[in-house]
Chain A
Amino acid sequence: MSIVLLFWHILIWHYAVAPVHIIKITRDFLWFFYHFFSIPVLMSTLFSKWKRIGEVRHKRLSAGDFLATHFINFVMRIIGFFIRAVTIVAGLISMLLLLCISVAVLAAWLLYPAAIVVLFAMGWNFALGLN
């Protein structure tokens, strides 16, 4: 079997098949980060009480109790909002970073065969003192 045919197979795989898989893997990792940071859940419960910690309103309530209950619940919502917001932002940054890395990897992948040829040629020149 000719080396040219093998080379041809690898080239087809490299430029037609593998890039699709790199994109698929990127998509899976984006999905993973999206769910690992629970972005959809945290968005939908952004202002919920932190771990449902709070005061229960009693039937016969004095003004003081009323204010205290609302204050504690308000504090818990603020804490919940803050932690969730930080997590969402961290998740979005991670996804953005992943996207940037994936674009870089894809670019490097497309240049990979050319890089091998260039490196070899450069090395050859250096070795023979042509440079």
Chain B
Amino acid sequence: MNIKALHISKSRLYPIVVLDRILSHHVRHVIHYVLDRVLLMLCIAIIFLHIARITSLRETELFIIIAPYISPIVGITLIVLSILLSGYLLELFFRFAYFREGVLPWRTRGRGHATDLLSLAVLKILYAARDGDVTKSFLRSAEGAHIMLRAGVMKENVNGFLSQRSGKLIERDLSLSANIIFDINSLARFIFDADEEFRDFLFQHNVRDSDLLGAARWVIHEKELQKRNERWWTREELVRIKGIGTDWSYGEAFTLKHFGREVLESYNAHASALSVKDEREVQEIERVLSRRGEANVLLVGEKGAGTLDIVFDFARKISMGSVVSQLEHKKVFLLNTTAIIASVRGKEEFEALMLTLFEEAIKSGNLIIVLPDLPAFMRSAKMLGSDVVSILDPYLSSPKLHVIAISDLGELQGTLEQNSTLMARFEKVSVSEPSGDEMIMILEHVAEDLEAQEGVFFTYSAIDEALRSAENYLTDGVLPDKAIDVLVEAVPHITTQEERIIKRADILSLITKKTNIPMGDISTSERIKLMDLERFLHGRVVGQDEAVTLVSQSMRRARAGVRNMKRPIGSFLFLGPTGVGKTETAKALAEVFFGSEDAVARFDMSEYQTADALERLIGFFEGDKVGTLAKVLKSKPYGVLLLDEFEKTSTEVMDLFLQVLDEGFFSDMRGKRVSARNVIIIATSNAGSDLIWEAVQGGGDLPHMKNEIVAALIERGIFKPELLNRFDAVVLFHPLNDGHLRNIARLMLEKLDKRLRERNLSLAITDELVSAVVRHGTDPAFGARPMNRAIQERVEQMIAEKLIRGEIKEGSQVTISPEDLV
């Protein structure tokens, strides 16, 4: 329907909008304020006059003068009172419409006018735009301005856009779906789709449609929460007030209170809004706990994934009285197991305390005990020489007590499932990770809290980026916990720069700071470096043009953000003879992409060819020993993973890398995911060097012969085709010719010269010296590898001797003739 032809005057809310336009909230407030005081003064005057009339004051001259005005004063008072009452009635009318904005009126269900579907806020915007521009009216409204701010567009930019704007949206069609309220979110979507000028303006400020709609949804949600808090008289709010008398039929648990607290007491009021997960887990807990006997729940979820929030939701459900009768008036009590362990001196004391606590729990009759980390509690008790399971078993099998134990999945598989007695007493309830939308809502609540506490402002894109970055780049922890950490850390990160508004770029710069992975907008200097990456790499790697080009292209893809986030940043198999620059390329890559050579984690895969190779990499289940690969990736999740002599490792290890290269993670011995999504994997191998030699000596073009060489490697059974296919690229490194070797020798001598300059000396790098180094430092079997030793053993040795003999003085240039090196 065309906006013009919408006939908003037929909406049920139209009178309110018109009235609000004539008498705005502020004006009404002022009128009430003034009339309230006028009425008060008039009433005081009437009381005073009445007292005067019934006392001797009536004889005074003043009263005689005033007496004729008493009747008009009373009249004015009554008129003011009636106006004030009318005003209050109107205000109630307004407030009613305001609170019922999102509720579909009965008239609309089939009978009312189509415009009844427009929300009050939308109607106000359309009314303000009835002769002009909907986009302008939207941006000028309080809701629109707030949405733009949440989307990350500042007020001055919006004003600038409006002042230069030429088009109007008045002629566009607006479609209303039956029985769905057309709210601000729908209007934002409509404007974004219909108004090209507005869309371009948003793109200029890096605001995508998802950012605008996310911001609109957030603003509406904030408004709804605000309304909910204002409506203190609804049953949902009244239920929060704790009743009296429910505890009088249950016993007191004095000792227990020293070692824990009620779950509902330990959560702040805002936490109720945090509970956004669907109720599947809560219903499961209710079902299990309402059984007769062995009614115990083992809640399995990763730490930080909201397991305690679910327990809180369950406790809240009980407090609202919406549970089955068996669980009515129960209290969910969180036991502080750390405090229990800390308070005892030995096994006997611990066991006596446990018996006291659980006897009390049974005696009180209405407690559900929560053990926040059962495996850790079992381990701590074991250190005291006690077996928690055997102490708890009689209580767990009793119908008089309910227990909710919490564990993460790894601990469940590693510790708890080994104990069949324990597992028989519990029913497992798995906690699923919240969905993307639920996590965004959780983060929005956290952001609102931080805004209130720290005086900052989060844009929607910052929230969205925090979730995306936490998922893609932060390997430790689980969502939404690690995304919440990003938001919390973003506050000091920007306040130190004297900023108050947290945008997407701020989150990206924080992630870069934490991970060293370059992100966010590409700076001019970085752009130059990226576009000239080949030249930069050639500063360290001599020759090997194909390798350098392929690696550079891959890095540019990663930096541009078009890489697959579910795989490693890049993965390459470097094939070629020894000493031709394979490792050097990896180091150069680490330096350019991660800022330092130290970002290389090197594995000599020839050490992993025995039967236990796989376990040594991922960890041993027995003994709970962490594997080397798991350890390295956890401590250094961002960098270059260099797998030297990859062909020498066992088949099982190669199979492990099939998954790593394909999905970017593997599971350690406890079943926990170890991410390799933020590393560049470089496997090097000498396999096929003979074929490369032959190809080069035969004058063949190496890049064109790659397929043949790779096919030969598969035929020889060195690599499986599926493994080779999973690398981003298989790169052939050609043997070095004399020119390459001379360049390498020169590079190495320049490095030595640089070191000498730190001691105020310099080295004369002559062609003769370079030739001599090449002669002494080249071995057909090892490429340029012996060159380093040649420089060390001959050139450096010579300089050292000359220094000791006093033949070289500070500030002088060292000249070494080829004869010196013989």
Contact = CB atoms under 8 A, between A and B. Distances in A.
A122 B83 CA distance: 13
Interface stretch (B85-93, B207-215, B802-810): B85-93
A32 B248 contact: no
A52 B79 contact: no
A37 to B, nearest CB: 7
Q: How large is the interface on A (under 10, 10 to 19, 20 to 34, 35 or more residues)?
A: 35 or more
A50 B18 CA distance: 61
Contacts of B78: 119-120, 122-123, 126
B72 A52 contact: no
A13 B93 contact: yes
Interface string B71-84: 11011111111110
A18 interface: yes
Interface in A97-131: 112-113, 115-117, 119-120, 122-129, 131
A36 to B, nearest CB: 5
B616 interface: no
Contact of B234 (A10, A28, A42, A116): A28
Chain B interface SS verdict (over half): helix
Given A41-B245, A41-B249, A84-B248, A32 B238 contact: yes
Contacts of B83: 120
B235 A52 contact: no
B91 to A, nearest CB: 12
A84 B86 contact: no
A1 B14 contact: yes
A48 interface: yes
A103 to B, nearest CB: 17
Contacts of A131: 71, 75
A69 interface: no
Interface in A1-46: 1, 5-6, 9-10, 13-14, 17-18, 21, 25, 28-29, 31-32, 35-38, 41-42, 45
A114 B89 CA distance: 12
B82 A120 contact: yes
A29 B233 contact: yes
Contact of B243 (A18, A37, A83): A37
B363 interface: yes
Contacts of A123: 74-82
A28 B247 contact: no
A34 to B, nearest CB: 9
Contacts of B245: 37-38, 41-42, 84, 87
B225 interface: no
Contacts of B365: 52
A83 B247 CA distance: 12
B243 A35 contact: yes
Contacts of B363: 52
A36 B243 contact: yes
Contacts of A28: 233-235, 238
B364 interface: yes
Contacts of B721: none
Interface residues of B, number: 47
A6 B233 contact: no
A51 interface: yes
Given A28-B235, A84-B245, A9 B251 contact: no
Interface string B168-199: 00000000000000000000000000000000
Contacts of B239: 32, 35
B424 to A, nearest CB: 31
Given A52-B363, A119-B85, A37 B74 contact: no
B214 to A, nearest CB: 34
A8 B251 CA distance: 60
Contact of B79 (A6, A18, A113, A120): A120
Contacts of A53: 251
A55 to B, nearest CB: 13
A45 B18 CA distance: 57
A80 B248 contact: yes
A126 B15 contact: no
A50 B248 contact: yes
Contacts of B247: 51
A112 B96 contact: no
Contacts of A25: 233
A10 B244 contact: no
Contact of B249 (A48, A113, A116, A119): A48
B331 to A, nearest CB: 13
B89 A113 contact: yes
B244 A6 contact: no
Contacts of B328: 41
Contacts of A52: 249-251, 363-365
Nearest to B18: A1
Given A10-B15, A51-B251, 20 more contacts: A1-B18, A14-B89, A25-B233, A32-B235, A35-B243, A38-B244, A38-B246, A41-B245, A41-B249, A42-B245, A45-B248, A48-B249, A52-B364, A80-B249, A84-B245, A84-B248, A87-B245, A112-B89, A113-B89, A120-B82
Interface of A: 1, 5-6, 9-10, 13-14, 17-18, 21, 25, 28-29, 31-32, 35-38, 41-42, 45, 48, 50-53, 80, 83-84, 87, 112-113, 115-117, 119-120, 122-129, 131
Interface of B: 9, 12, 14-15, 18-19, 71-72, 74-83, 85-86, 89-90, 92-93, 96, 233-235, 238-239, 241, 243-252, 321, 328-329, 363-365
12 contacts: A9-B15, A13-B96, A28-B233, A28-B238, A31-B238, A36-B244, A48-B249, A84-B245, A123-B74, A123-B81, A127-B71, A128-B75
Q: Nearest 9 CB-CB pairs, A to B?
A: A127-B75, A126-B75, A123-B78, A38-B245, A52-B251, A123-B79, A45-B249, A119-B82, A120-B82
